[in-house]
Amino acid sequence: QWLLSRTMGCPHSFEFRRSELQSLRSRQRSEVCVGDDEVVDSFLSLVDPQQPQPADLKGEFAGLLLKYLEVAKIALVVGDVLFVHGAVNDDNMRKLPPSRSCSEWQSADNLMDWVDAINAWATDEVRDYRANIAGYLKEMRA
């Protein structure tokens, strides 16, 4: 709950997910109680294809977010329009986060270089996550 609220800017998402799970499960049962651990497991199942799924969800969400991230783009230019996940402002335009190959923030020379570099960074991060999934999941569960 802390991670969602403090680092991702979505303080209500944990309870929204609980409500969503209760709705999905109430189709099969009259009274449904979804505990905190079940909500956490449901979030983790989105990024862990090996996460056991509750029988009533039929495994349909296993690794779904990870699969999406493996093909998604953080930034895309179509014609003269920039599409991004999030927002672009003076503080982050052309900025590249630290990576395994460079521990400092970098700046791209122009928009297209930035789009290419930020997408390459994201692809590298997802590949690293996939390659080290057990360690990351252990950290998230701690």
Tell the residue number behind the tokens 């497991």, with chain if given.
Answer: 41
Contact (CB, 8 A) for 54 and 40: no
What are the φ/ψ torsions at residue 12 (nearest 5 degrees)? -105, -5
What is the chain's mean pLDDT, rounded?
Answer: 85
Residues recorded for the chain: 142
pLDDT tens figures, 28-79: 666 678 899 888 888 888 888 777 665 555 556 678 888 899 999 999 999 9
Asked if residue 124 has pLDDT above 90, the reply is yes
pTM for this prediction: 0.76
Crossing angle of helices 133-141 and 36-45, in 10° steps, is 160
Amino acid at 66: L
- Residue 140 or residue 20, greater confidence: 20
pLDDT at 128 over 70: yes
* Mean pLDDT calculated for residue range 84-109: 90
Tokens of residue 117, six digits? 């570099």
What is the average per-residue pLDDT within 129-142?
84
